[in-house]
Amino acid sequence: MADTAWTGMIWNDEHPSPKHEVICRHCRAKNRVLVSRAIIEPEKFICAQCKQALFLASDEPLLALSSRSFEHPLDASTLRTLRAIPGASILIKMLFKHFNERALFYNLSANAIHCGPNQFPELMQIANTAASRLDCKFNLNIFFTSIPFSNAFTSGGDKAILCFSTALLNHLTDDELIFVTGHELGHLMSEHLISRLLFELLLSGGLTAIPEIARYISLPIQLALLKWIRCSELTADRAGLLACRNMTTALNCMMKMAAGNDPGVYSRTNLSLAAFVEQACQLKQQDSQLLDSFVSSIFIRQQSHPLIAWRVLELIDWIENGNYFDILAGKYI
């Protein structure tokens, strides 16, 4: 049975669960739902007027979903700024297609295992489930490779490439892998990879020959871009949740990203999701300026999935503000 005790760490007598107004996609009637209940059992909510399901079933696709529906505001504003740098966007798309995408595909074909109908079709099935729920039309190329760290990465434009580490496959359940795949697809849908490459080139000085671009690489801009990279993870987490449609799964996955799932831990104890969520909630009560400086800190640049507890808080905020439920009720861009 799913462990849902974590909800009590967020919503309790001191901080009661908010209610959110959901408009029925069948009859347009307004329904008020208790967030703490809807997040656990969305399938049990029916419209008070027409008695039909208020939310999409877990396998129903979010047809023609635009990433603008779920982009985190901090991510969306930086994406607009980056795209506005003169000439950079076109240049990066060209570089990306011809070098990054081709080189990565070649590299993975040479070193990793390419999944298909005759090779690990089960992993293809997991990835396709996430893609179908998000209504992603990418031509997916799924790889996995033996890496001792829990990680997944994605790249590509026309040729979407997703690669899972074997450690990740060891640690996660199928549903948690759907969350991770949705997260990676979120990066593709928002074109984060293209913006990230632009950012890496800016930081490495690779574009300083172009004067219009050189002036953008002052330290404050670098820090702002680092902060954006962190914020792009928040958008991707939202896509992950829209793909797995189960907050307990999403949180378990995030806890495993921080803790791993190794015998040294699980042979001694059952990790508590409620205690993990409580740890994240305590972070919120501490110095918010310190957290903000961490988010844009250069010192954690090399961490692929930093600040897990902060991401948990941001995902909870998204649920509380109701945007997630609106999308599941069919109201999105």
Give residues in contact with Zn ion (CB under 5 A).
24, 26-27, 29, 47, 49-50, 233, 236
Q: Provide, rounded to whole angstroms, the least separation between the CB of residue 265 and Zn ion.
A: 24
Q: Provide, rounded to whole angstroms, the least separation between the CB of residue 264 and Zn ion.
A: 26
Q: Provide, rounded to whole angstroms, the least separation between the CB of residue 46 and Zn ion.
A: 8
Of 10 and 101, nearer to Zn ion (C-beta) is 101
Of 9 and 308, nearer to Zn ion (C-beta) is 308
Distance CA 192, CA 318 (A): 20
Q: Provide, rounded to whole angstroms, the least separation between the CB of residue 167 and Zn ion.
A: 16
* 3-class SS letters over 149-212: CCCEEEECCCEEEEEEEHHHHHHCCHHHHHHHHHHHHHHHHCCHHHHHHHHHHHHHCCCCCCHH
Per DSSP, 247 falls in state H
Bridge partner residues of 114 (DSSP): 143
Of 207 and 237, nearer to Zn ion (C-beta) is 237
3-class secondary-structure state, position 88: helix
- Give just the sign of the alpha carbon dihedral 323, 326, 330, 332: negative
Q: Provide, rounded to whole angstroms, the least separation between the CB of residue 51 and Zn ion.
A: 7
Of 9 and 238, nearer to Zn ion (C-beta) is 238
Of 24 and 88, nearer to Zn ion (C-beta) is 24
Angle at 300 between CA 199 and CA 168, to 5 degrees: 95
